[in-house]
């Protein structure tokens, strides 16, 4: 990358060793293709089960988050059966990673295969809700990349079909489900390590990498806008850590601060919100500088009545190597916790839910509420005009 002051290919190779595919799940397909050749075997995707617990397939692979999604289900005991995607280059990359997968001739072939219990998708965001609706109507559960729904109209229809079919519509909010330090933070909060949570502050910067992005990335009609897209992660974390099942947007704002060449794009947004379990602040942006050795210095601060936790998801610029860093301060101590050996439970929990018809990975109410908040914050956001072009 022009202007970078480090060997980016070496960094990605080293990071994969430390953090597994959770890191790469956050890269767009162009960056993935440029920086890491697909391997036929991923240690992070190894199942601990002797026999497959469910069978699953994939429809749409326009974002490289799909690899994190697939690996999560495989770790949970799922067997990947088939794939349908329209783009030959993306299919070729996917089949190198998973040579056992059957390439289906159509979406219909997968939807009508009665052996398939779960469908995954990281299609272009505007198409994800429709795929999920059709999957549920064919008696299958569904796991979408985020954003899993990009308009309030889509949300209304998805809710209607989910209630009608009683299928699972899950959105993989990977900044919680696929980040080990964030998983550990959840365990500590549940154990009472910082008392009762009062507020979350979540900063979610991303690197633009415009030359590696597909055309659909620059038009928000395809992805819903910056709060709908990146922000969906953050609303999920807010609800989870504050234990809120009701919430409202206090204020939100968005802007295209310095990318006038992409008039359908937004590069900054922030939100204040309030739930029945706590308050929150969220900032999302596309301003990660090239000098940072990862795609974004994602930070989560959880304020409690008896202490606080700070999660540095991808990097600690103070010096600890790799990602998955957690700092805990409470009445007893100040601790640094390396979370790289923490187990990621989402894949197993979702497979359990598919089999047992339970809600251990995430309740349907939580899944939809996180999306609803993001959509409302996006729709009602004030527009910034900072004249920084």
Establish whether domains 8-173 and 176-344+376-383 are of one fold.
Answer: no
**Are 103 and 95 a contacting pair, CB within 8 Å?**
yes
Torsion of CA 223, 228, 230, 233, to 10 degrees: -130
pLDDT in tens, 15-28: 333 333 333 333 33
- The SS3 assignment for 80 reads strand
Residue of 197, 204, 201, 185 lying closest to 335 (CA atoms): 185
Distances (CA, A) of 198 to 11, 98, 323, 354: 37, 44, 26, 33
Complete DSSP assignment for 225-286? -HHHHTHHHHHHHHHHHHT-S-EEEEEEEEE--S-TT-TT---EEEEEEEESS-EEEEEEES
pLDDT in tens, 219-258: 999 999 999 999 999 999 999 999 999 999 999 999 999 9
Per-residue pLDDT of the chain (389 residues; tens, 9 = 90+): 333 333 333 333 333 333 333 333 333 333 232 223 233 335 446 777 889 999 999 999 999 999 999 999 999 999 999 999 999 999 999 999 999 999 999 999 999 999 999 999 999 999 999 999 999 999 999 999 999 999 999 999 999 999 999 999 999 999 999 999 999 999 999 999 999 999 999 999 999 989 889 999 999 999 999 999 999 999 999 999 999 999 999 999 999 999 999 999 999 999 999 999 999 999 999 999 999 999 999 999 999 999 999 999 999 998 899 999 999 999 999 999 999 999 999 999 999 999 999 999 999 999 999 999 999 999 999 999 886 65
Residues 200, 197: Cα–Cα separation, whole Å = 8
All residues at 6 or more sequence positions from 325 whose CB lies less than 8 Å from its CB, including other chains = 181, 311, 312, 313, 316, 336, 337, 338, 339
Residues 297, 310: Cα–Cα separation, whole Å = 12
Distances (CA, A) of 217 to 59, 71, 224, 247, 305: 19, 24, 10, 29, 41
Q: Which CATH architecture has domain 176-344+376-383?
A: 2-Layer Sandwich (3.30)
**Are 57 and 116 a contacting pair, CB within 8 Å?**
yes
* Residue 49 half-sphere exposure toward CB, CA atoms < 13 A: 16
Q: Which CATH number is 8-173's, of 3.40.50.720, 3.40.1000.10, 3.90.79.10, 3.40.50.300?
A: 3.40.50.720
Q: Where are the domains of the chain?
A: 8-173, 176-344+376-383
Q: How far is CA 202 from its chain centroid?
A: 14
């Amino acid at each position: 990358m022009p202007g970078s002051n480090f060997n980016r290919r070496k960094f990605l190779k080293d990071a994969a060793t430390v953090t597994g595919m959770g890191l790469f799940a956050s890269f767009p397909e162009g960056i993935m293709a440029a920086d890491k050749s697909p391997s036929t075997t991923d240690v992070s995707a190894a199942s601990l089960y002797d026999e497959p617990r469910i069978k699953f397939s994939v429809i749409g692979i326009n974002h490289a988050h799909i690899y994190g999604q697939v690996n999560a289900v495989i770790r949970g005991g799922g067997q990947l059966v088939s794939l349908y995607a329209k783009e030959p280059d993306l299919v070729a990359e996917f089949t190198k990673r998973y040579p056992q997968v059957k390439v289906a001739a159509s979406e219909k072939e997968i939807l009508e295969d009665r052996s398939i219990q779960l469908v995954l998708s990281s299609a272009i965001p505007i198409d994800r809700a429709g795929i999920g609706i059709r999957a549920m109507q064919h008696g299958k559960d569904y796991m979408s990349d985020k954003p899993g729904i990009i308009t309030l109209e889509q949300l209304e229809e998805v809710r209607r079909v989910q209630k009608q079919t009683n299928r699972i519509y899950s959105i993989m909010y990977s900044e919680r489900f696929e980040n080990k330090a964030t998983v550990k933070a959840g365990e500590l909060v549940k154990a009472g390590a910082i008392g009762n949570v009062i507020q979350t502050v979540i900063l979610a910067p991303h690197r633009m990498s415009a030359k590696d992005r597909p055309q659909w990335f620059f038009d928000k009609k395809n992805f819903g806008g910056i709060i709908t897209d990146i922000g969906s992660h953050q609303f999920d974390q807010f609800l989870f850590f504050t234990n809120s099942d009701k919430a409202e947007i206090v204020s939100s704002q968005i802007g295209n601060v310095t990318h006038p060449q992409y008039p359908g794009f937004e590069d900054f947004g922030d939100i204040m919100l309030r739930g029945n379990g706590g308050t929150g602040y969220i900032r999302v942006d596309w301003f990660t500088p090239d000098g940072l050795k990862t795609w974004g210095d994602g930070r989560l601060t959880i304020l409690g009545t008896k202490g606080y936790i700070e999660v540095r998801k991808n990097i600690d610029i103070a010096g600890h190597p790799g990602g998955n860093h957690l700092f805990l301060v409470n009445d007893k101590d100040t601790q640094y916790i390396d979370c790289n050996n923490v187990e990621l439970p989402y894949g197993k929990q979702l497979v359990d839910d598919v089999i047992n018809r339970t809600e251990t990975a995430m309740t349907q109410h939580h899944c939809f509420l996180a999306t609803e908040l993001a959509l409302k914050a996006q729709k009602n956001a004030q527009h910034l005009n900072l004249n920084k072009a």
